[in-house]
Amino acid sequence: MKSVFWLMGLLFLVILCWGSIMLSYGKNDKSEKNDKKPDVKLKPLNAAEKAVIIDKGTERPFSGKYWDTFTPGVYYCRQCNAPLYVSDDKFKSGCGWPSFDEAIPEMVKEQPDKDGVRTEITCNRCGAHLGHVFRGERLTIRNTRHCVNSISMTFVPDSSEEAGRAIFAGGCFWGVQYYFEKEPGVIKTIAGYIGGDKPNPTYEEVCSHDTKYAEAVEVFFDPKQTSYEKLARLFFEIHDPTQVNRQGPDYGDQYRSAIFYVNNEQQKTAEKLIGELKEKGLDAATEVKPAKRFWPAEKYHQDWYRKKGGKPYCHIYTKRF
């Protein structure tokens, strides 16, 4: 009889220990999953928006707000406000939905669709359903079409004072990007080229001094968390604006100091800050010009110091204001 009770007691202990292990595993697993979720504030969605963004539906062709919109500006995720596409990459495909041949780097995720045929695209920040991507149609030189539901996006024209996009050129784009990507309120930075006319410039072509392109950084920011003026002040403090066609040991017109504004308010702000610097005795040589098309640089140039480590060799923060 004692042996029966002893076996029952042993079995109870085994079950208790196993339950504790599984409970602990479940907590750890949940913790790991929560750690991987981005700290993103999501906007409330109405029923129509949920049907597409959450339930992965599709709006009717030619019915969306942006299918035939080509005003310069930026398209943001309707759910989390992450920048997804710029109007420079939008084209007329005739399909009835907004079409882009490229997304802002690392902002759109591709994954197999549940139908086993198509490739779904979602916001890489919050997972919102955007639409599908198709390749091989030969509609543009990039041979890619991001077919996006208008209802999945919010469009902010460059002309708006709330435009959360800025473009700065101040020497090697590695160093400029290093400082801006650390700045609170900045959502995304991209190293690239601006100021020339040749489509799809390469690093080698820009370095040839024949393209008129400057190495620059495109900055996407949340106007509710920071301001264009604050970012422009930072720009003047992370490089020497008095140097002409160079920055530190880097020589060449591609390293010139320049601000490429996307609206009149940015132009006024840039010119005001240059005036303040000159009043302080600094002969700022920074150009202020309207933004042309910005071309992202090669992938290996992006986030150079974050991937390689270290700090910029030609950009040192200097208080100027």
Catalytic residues: 147, 172
From the number of C-beta atoms within 10 Å of its C-beta (0-12, 13-18, 19+), residue 230 rates as middle
Q: First-to-last CA distance in the chain?
A: 88
Residue 128 · residue 44 · CB < 8 Å: no
Chain-centroid distance of CA 230 in Å reads 19
From the number of C-beta atoms within 10 Å of its C-beta (0-12, 13-18, 19+), residue 271 rates as middle
For residues 238 and 89, give the distance between their C-alpha atoms in angstroms, rounded to a whole number: 30
Beta-bridge partner residues of 156? 74
For residues 150 and 59, give the distance between their C-alpha atoms in angstroms, rounded to a whole number: 8
DSSP H or E run through 178: helix 173-180
- What angle (nearest 5°) sits at the alpha carbon of residue 205, between those of residues 203 and 209? 110
